[in-house]
Amino acid sequence: MAFPVIKTKRLILRHLVPEDQKTIFQLRTDKQVSMFIDRPGMSSETEAAAFIEKIQSNCELNLSVYWAISLDADPELIGTICLWNFSEDRKLAELGYEMFPAFQGRGLMSEAINAVLDYGFQDCGLAAIEANTHRDNIRSKKLLSKFRFQYLPDKMDANNHNNEVYLLEHLKYRHAG
């Protein structure tokens, strides 16, 4: 199956490629971007290259769909967004996203999330999409509430106890565009 490139009004969601190595390294080592994300840091562009190879492999194995976000007029990566951690029955997936601070606050991530939710519910047939965000990440929590994600106070993120878990059921989804 061909990788699903998605075009929106201002963005192109495209496959992550080896040429993104330097930018992925910058994104994943940016202090503001990483402030609320508990993951091992990258120490070199070589690690970024290995990360890209892993992402490409996971996409080929249908374990995730991981997009590089770029502006329509410029192929340079400004962020990433993905559906991953699919349930065994492929009815639930987790949404993940990050964006360089210089591009935040312009509605670009909302545009990307809208497109990915449409893809997840319409093309993948998901019944629900989950998102985990740090309890102190107010901007991310606002973004999720915009799309009607509901906080699940009784559910824990097993990998990060500082995260809160949110869920959007297909029946409650409304395209925000």
Q: Within 10 Å of residue 28's Cβ, how many Cβ atoms?
A: 19
The full DSSP string for 105-173 is TSSHHHHHHHHHHHIIIIIS--SEEEEEEETT-HHHHHHHHHTT-EEEEEEE-TT-TTEEEEEEEGGG-
Q: Flag whether pLDDT at 138 surpasses 70.
A: yes
Q: In CATH, what number does 6-172 get? A: 3.40.630.30
Distances (CA, A) of 67 to 16, 21, 33: 6, 14, 17
Name which residue leads in pLDDT, 73 or 159: 73
Q: Flag whether pLDDT at 88 surpasses 70.
A: yes
The confidence band for 82, taking pLDDT boundaries of 50, 70 and 90, is: very high
The confidence band for 176, taking pLDDT boundaries of 50, 70 and 90, is: low
Q: Flag whether pLDDT at 108 surpasses 60.
A: yes
Residues of the chain with pLDDT > 70, as a percent, come to: 97
The overall average pLDDT reported for the chain is 93
Chain mean position to CA 109: 9
The whole model's pTM is what?
0.93
Q: Flag whether pLDDT at 145 surpasses 90.
A: yes
- pLDDT the model gives residue 36: 82
| Per-domain residue ranges of the chain | 6-172
Q: In the predicted model, what is the mean pLDDT of residues 76-99?
A: 97
- pLDDT the model gives residue 173: 73
Q: Flag whether pLDDT at 128 surpasses 60.
A: yes
For residue range 46-66, list pLDDT tens digits in order: 999 999 999 999 999 999 999
- pLDDT the model gives residue 102: 96
